[in-house]
């Protein structure tokens, strides 16, 4: 039988413990641990959730990795076409971890209505385009279908539709300059708004409309097997650097690759700070919880000084007595972890389900609601880390037991 654990259980379950002077201090310590875990879970869930959402929105417009011609001059507009006859298209089997690859092309233009005009980039997409992200962004209308004949339907952002005073079903004219000779009469296309999306990313929403790629191929006088560039989607974003190098090595020497981390490095530097902020919050919460537990343990030791003296008089070793109080402290920490996880995970589930809490300035965070994401390994690792660090902090105040004299302790009142 584990004697130290047995004594600790009796101390925890004893009625005297519940009505002693240490009871309110113990409750405060438990509440501090619970509140700390709650704050840490929310910090992780919101920080990681926001990072993932911003990452997904950038990828929706660009893919994770772009493959384009070296002579494209890093332009947002497709200049030099790339042939569809590639070993990696339509199935990128030569590199593991590639989920999807799609061919696109872009061309700058101006939308003109009776009352106003707006500069845009028309992004041409085809039957291979993955609409998953835009199905989530869709607010009105439907996603265009580009699998049949040449389609004049487009997908436009709510921001641009508002500026141009357009709605689903409205027709409008778009003018595109001829790249080979801008002085010539521009190409004109009449499009119909099929659907309206809202990604919350003003940089993209105010720029892109999605059209049938065959319009751009015809205006640029390209063949049916020529496109502007390829967008590659990965199964695991964390491998983007490694996969980009592998993809570059598997493509022709005339093609270059670029990751969205490099293309939008300022945004990714910003969201990279989220991890630092999460670390700061976790550190502060562990210190606060640990200090409260140290205070509670010292009060417990002070309250049980006569018991410590009796155990020492009976021959109990210092470490054995310390273990009694460490078991007691572990129980209080586990109790705080239980309530902290219950409240924290419950609040995260509520926000993930109902999206009740929203940003007051969504344009700064590219999303109107506060996204949350957390997984089981993270929760388990967080709880194990809090328990371990708090228990290590408990070793310091428990050392005071070694300085207690049995004679003085028995007389202590």
**Is there a domain that residue 242 lies in?**
no
- Picking from 201, 227, 253, the residue at the C-terminal end of a domain is 227
pLDDT at 341 exceeding the cut of 90: yes
Rounded to a whole number of angstroms, the distance between the first and last alpha carbons of the chain is 31
Helix ranges (H only) for 304-375 are 305-313, 318-354, 362-365
Q: How confident is the model at residue 14 (pLDDT cuts 50, 70, 90)?
A: low
- Look at residue 411 in the predicted model and tell me its pLDDT: 61
Query: Is the domain of 273 the same as that of 401?
Result: yes
> For 263-296, what is each residue's pLDDT tens digit?
888 988 888 888 888 888 888 888 888 888 888 8
The count of domains in the chain is 2
**Is there a domain that residue 103 lies in?**
yes
Q: How confident is the model at residue 311 (pLDDT cuts 50, 70, 90)?
A: confident
The pair of three-digit structure tokens given for residue 126, joined into one six-digit string: 């085809």
Query: Is the domain of 93 the same as that of 29?
Result: no
Query: Is the domain of 291 the same as that of 193?
Result: no
CA dihedral sign of residues 188, 190, 194, 196: positive
The pair of three-digit structure tokens given for residue 369, joined into one six-digit string: 């609601």
The CA distance from 102 to 118, in Å, is 28
Is the distance from CB of 248 to CB of 92 less than 8 angstroms? no
Query: Cβ-count burial of 83 within 10 angstroms (0-12 exposed, 13-18 middle, 19+ buried)?
Result: middle
Which residues 6+ apart lie within 8 Å of 86 measured at CB? 230, 251, 252
**What is the DSSP pairing of strand 187-197 with strand 138-141?**
antiparallel
Query: Of 322-326, 390-394, 407-411, which gets the smallest average pLDDT?
Result: 407-411
The CA distance from 51 to 45, in Å, is 10
Query: Is the domain of 35 the same as that of 94?
Result: no
pLDDT at 75 exceeding the cut of 70: no
**Is there a domain that residue 70 lies in?**
no
**Is there a domain that residue 257 lies in?**
no
> For 104-128, what is each residue's pLDDT tens digit?
999 989 998 888 888 899 999 999 9
Percent of the chain with pLDDT over 90: 33
Angle at 346 between CA 342 and CA 347, to 5 degrees: 120
- Picking from 227, 251, 285, the residue at the C-terminal end of a domain is 227
- Look at residue 317 in the predicted model and tell me its pLDDT: 78
- Look at residue 122 in the predicted model and tell me its pLDDT: 93
pLDDT at 19 exceeding the cut of 60: no
Q: Which of 77, 34, 53, 13 is nearest to 267 (CA)?
A: 53
**Greater confidence, 16 or 183?**
183
Query: Is the domain of 273 the same as that of 402?
Result: yes
Which residues 6+ apart lie within 8 Å of 261 measured at CB? 240, 241, 268
> Rounded mean pLDDT of the chain?
85
**Is there a domain that residue 251 lies in?**
no
- Picking from 176, 205, 227, the residue at the C-terminal end of a domain is 227
Query: Is the domain of 349 the same as that of 213?
Result: no
**Is there a domain that residue 272 lies in?**
yes
**Greater confidence, 338 or 313?**
338
Domain region containing 105: 81-227
Section 225-231 average pLDDT: 91
Query: Is the domain of 335 the same as that of 199?
Result: no
Long-range contacts of 201-205 (CB under 8 A, 24+ apart): 201/57, 201/58, 201/61, 201/366, 202/159, 202/363, 202/366, 204/57, 204/61, 204/157, 205/157, 205/158, 205/159, 205/160
The CA distance from 112 to 117, in Å, is 4
Q: How confident is the model at residue 25 (pLDDT cuts 50, 70, 90)?
A: confident
pLDDT at 210 exceeding the cut of 90: yes
DSSP 238: G
- CB-hemisphere CA count at 13 Å for 329? 32
Query: Is the domain of 104 the same as that of 197?
Result: yes
Query: Is the domain of 329 the same as that of 407?
Result: yes
> For 116-162, what is each residue's pLDDT tens digit?
888 899 999 999 999 998 988 999 999 999 988 888 999 999 999 99
- Look at residue 338 in the predicted model and tell me its pLDDT: 94
**Is there a domain that residue 67 lies in?**
no
- Look at residue 9 in the predicted model and tell me its pLDDT: 74
Question: pTM for this structure?
Answer: 0.81
Q: What is the rounded (10 degree) CA torsion for 355, 359, 362, 368? A: 10
């Amino acid at each position: 039988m584990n004697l130290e654990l047995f004594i600790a259980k009796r101390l925890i379950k004893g009625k005297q413990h519940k009505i002693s002077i240490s009871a309110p201090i113990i409750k405060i310590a438990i509440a501090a641990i619970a509140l700390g875990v709650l704050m840490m879970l929310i910090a992780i869930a919101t920080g990681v959730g926001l990072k993932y959402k911003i990452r997904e929105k950038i990828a929706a417009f660009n893919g994770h990795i772009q493959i384009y011609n070296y002579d494209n001059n890093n332009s947002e507009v497709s200049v030099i076409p790339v042939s569809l006859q590639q070993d990696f298209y339509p199935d990128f089997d030569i590199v593991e971890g590639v989920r999807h690859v799609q061919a696109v092309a872009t061309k700058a233009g101006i939308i003109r209505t009776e009352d106003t005009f707006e500069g845009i980039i028309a992004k041409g997409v085809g039957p291979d385009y993955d609409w998953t992200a835009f199905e989530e962004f869709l607010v009105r209308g439907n996603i265009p279908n580009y699998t049949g004949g040449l389609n004049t339907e487009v997908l436009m952002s709510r921001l641009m539709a508002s500026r141009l005073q357009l709605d689903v079903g409205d027709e409008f004219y778009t003018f595109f300059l001829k790249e080979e000779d801008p002085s010539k009469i521009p190409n004109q296309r009449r499009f119909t708004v099929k659907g309206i999306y809202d990604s919350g990313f003003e940089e993209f929403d105010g720029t892109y409309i999605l059209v049938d790629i065959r319009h751009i191929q015809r205006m640029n006088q390209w063949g049916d097997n020529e496109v502007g560039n390829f967008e590659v989607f990965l199964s695991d974003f964390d491998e983007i650097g490694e996969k980009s190098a592998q993809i570059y090595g598997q493509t022709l020497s005339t093609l270059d690759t670029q990751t969205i981390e490099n293309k939008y490095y300022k945004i990714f530097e910003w969201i990279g700070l989220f991890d630092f902020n999460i670390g700061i919050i976790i550190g502060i919460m562990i210190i606060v919880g640990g200090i409260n537990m140290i205070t509670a343990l010292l009060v417990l030791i002070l309250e049980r000084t006569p018991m410590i003296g009796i155990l020492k008089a009976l021959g109990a070793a210092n470490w054995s007595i310390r273990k009694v109080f460490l078991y007691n402290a572990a129980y209080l920490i586990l109790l705080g972890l239980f309530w902290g996880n219950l409240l924290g995970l419950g609040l995260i589930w509520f926000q993930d389900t109902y999206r009740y809490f929203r940003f007051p300035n969504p344009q700064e965070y590219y999303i109107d609601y506060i996204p949350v994401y957390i997984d089981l390994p993270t929760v388990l690792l967080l709880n194990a880390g809090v328990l371990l660090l708090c228990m290590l902090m408990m070793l310091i105040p428990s050392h005071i037991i070694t300085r207690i004299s049995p004679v003085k302790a028995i007389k202590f009142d």
